[in-house]
Amino acid sequence: MDKYAVARLAELEANGTWIPIRRRFGIEAFGVNAWRADEGKDVIAEHDEQRNKHQELYLVLEGHATFTLDGEEIDAPSGTLVAVPDTTVKRKAVAQQGGTTIIAIGAPAGEPYALPAWEWNAEAIPFFATGEYERAKEILLAGLAQQPEAGGVLYNLACVESRLGDREAAFDYLRRALEEFPEAAKFAPDDEDLAALKDDPRFDEILGSAVAG
């Protein structure tokens, strides 16, 4: 890692609404990313931090947002800081102006920081669109090495292996994914990435077990 680095936010390549800051600088002690959205769109998708246990701080860098914290709306023009140390709080932010940009910083209290699984998924998903499944697999396996029980990573690995034609690996990942992330059973039947598995009785068996559980 370099002793220091400098970059302008505009120089960082966005992945949809996500502007990867942590990854750009190789920061490993805490999470930090920027999010940008058009007027009326979610800048920060609704979520809580019970799984990752991250205390979070948001800075509205540009534009104007409305935060909703456990149902309470907070007006947040440019320059507003919103701290959410309680990991159970359901939070989201909607852009009130085009180009609204929010920086989010987070880490668990009293524990070492671990890269959240969503970053690995967000980095890998664009390679699905281009058919670069081996590259997506490489990224997801790196994520799995850090978080062996990450249901979303396991699910996307099932999709990758299905696309690559390794049905046994795909079923193994799918089974493990649904043990950790049973909600995936709701959308797996319509997922075209898993189409190669749907003629096998194991597909319905695995999904049925997740629903029953």
Backbone angles phi, psi at 212, to 5 degrees: -65, -35
Write down the H helix ranges in the chain: 22-25, 117-129, 133-146, 151-164, 167-180, 201-212
Lookup: tokens for 13: 């390549």
Give tens-digit pLDDT for 17-53.
Answer: 999 999 899 999 999 999 999 999 999 999 999 988 9
Class of domain 9-108: mainly beta
Lookup: tokens for 189: 């039947």
Packing angle of the helix pair 167-180, 201-212 (nearest 10 deg): 10
pLDDT at 73 > cutoff 80: yes
Share of the chain above pLDDT 90, in %: 85
- Confidence at residue 213, expressed as pLDDT on a 0 to 100 scale: 58
- Confidence class for position 114, pLDDT limits 50, 70, 90: confident
Query: Which of 26-30, 77-81, 205-209 reaches the highest mean pLDDT?
Result: 77-81
Give tens-digit pLDDT for 139-167.
Answer: 999 999 988 989 999 999 999 999 999 99
pLDDT at 210 > cutoff 90: no
Q: Which fold has domain 117-212?
A: 1.25.40
Contacts of 146 (CB under 8 A, 6+ apart): 114, 115, 120
What is the location of CATH 1.25.40.10 in the chain?
Answer: 117-212
- Confidence class for position 16, pLDDT limits 50, 70, 90: confident
What is the location of CATH 2.60.120.10 in the chain?
Answer: 9-108
Q: What is this structure's pTM?
A: 0.80
pLDDT at 59 > cutoff 90: yes
Least confident residue range of 1-5, 28-32, 200-204? 1-5
Least confident residue range of 97-101, 147-151, 168-172? 147-151
The answer to whether the CB of 157 falls within 8 A of the CB of 141 is yes
- Confidence at residue 212, expressed as pLDDT on a 0 to 100 scale: 65
